[in-house]
Homo-oligomer: A and B are copies of this chain.
């Protein structure tokens, strides 16, 4: 990347990336202006010109909201990790999102999903390791065979979900372990969400 951004330019770039990654629609000049309390779009226009000249974005002339972000230095964006999950232990939710990972900008989070960092190697039979991040969607209805995150008697688990007539079965990936069978209205069971994926950043994996 050619040059460093000034403070303001960096903030504008952050805002653009945030808008694109959260709601999926790049902001217009007017919206950027409003966000930064500018009375005029021309101010934004000039900032964008600077940011583009420095190579961080690419603008599509005449096209509304036509800002593309050039991903290089800005390849990773911080995303809050809201807690930890470790089979056998209680589900830890960080009070103020202390932790965050550098999720690649390619990995856009849907609004309703969240990230949990995996701790301990108790999930290794599911090929999930310490430091990996599971993407959990709490609003998805789990289907048979889906991996789910759940709290069972105050312990967090990541297991395969199977729905029987009046029971729920949680299967381990390791066939040596017997499935856990739960009555459907057992109060000690709380489904957290469906694990839609595992993401592992290759930045600083410990060998």
Which stretch of A35-43, A48-56, A190-198 is in the interface? Answer: A190-198
Answer yes or no: A98 CB below 8 A from chain B CBs: no
**In the complex where A200-B198, A207-B175 touch, is A25 in contact with B23 (Cβ < 8 A)?**
no
- 8 Å CB contacts to B: which residues of A183-207? 195-205, 207
CA distance A198 to B113 in the complex (A): 19
**In the complex where A28-B64, A196-B202, A199-B197 touch, is A106 in contact with B135 (Cβ < 8 A)?**
yes
Residues of B within 8 A of A66 (CB): 25
Residues of B within 8 A of A67 (CB): 25
CA distance A65 to B160 in the complex (A): 39
Q: Are B207 and A197 in touch, CB under 8 angstroms?
A: no
Q: Return the chain B residue nearest A106 by Cβ.
A: B108
Answer yes or no: A18 CB below 8 A from chain B CBs: no
Answer yes or no: A71 CB below 8 A from chain B CBs: yes
Answer yes or no: A44 CB below 8 A from chain B CBs: no
Residues of B within 8 A of A64 (CB): 28, 64-65
Answer yes or no: A78 CB below 8 A from chain B CBs: no
Answer yes or no: A146 CB below 8 A from chain B CBs: yes
Interface of A is mostly: loop
> Max chain B CB contacts within 10 Å: which of A69, A127, A139, A160?
A127
Q: Are A197 and B202 in touch, CB under 8 angstroms?
A: yes
Convert A68-83 into 0s and 1s, putting 1 for each residue whose CB lies closer than 8 angstroms to a CB of B: 1101100100000000
Q: Return the chain B residue nearest A202 by Cβ.
A: B147
Q: Are A68 and B24 in touch, CB under 8 angstroms?
A: yes
Q: Are B24 and A107 in touch, CB under 8 angstroms?
A: no
Q: Are A26 and B28 in touch, CB under 8 angstroms?
A: no
Q: List 11 A-B contacts (CB under 8 A).
A: A23-B68, A25-B26, A64-B64, A72-B140, A75-B140, A75-B196, A106-B110, A106-B135, A127-B200, A146-B203, A198-B199
8 closest A-B pairs by beta carbon, nearest first, are A64-B64, A147-B202, A198-B200, A108-B108, A106-B108, A71-B110, A173-B207, A195-B202
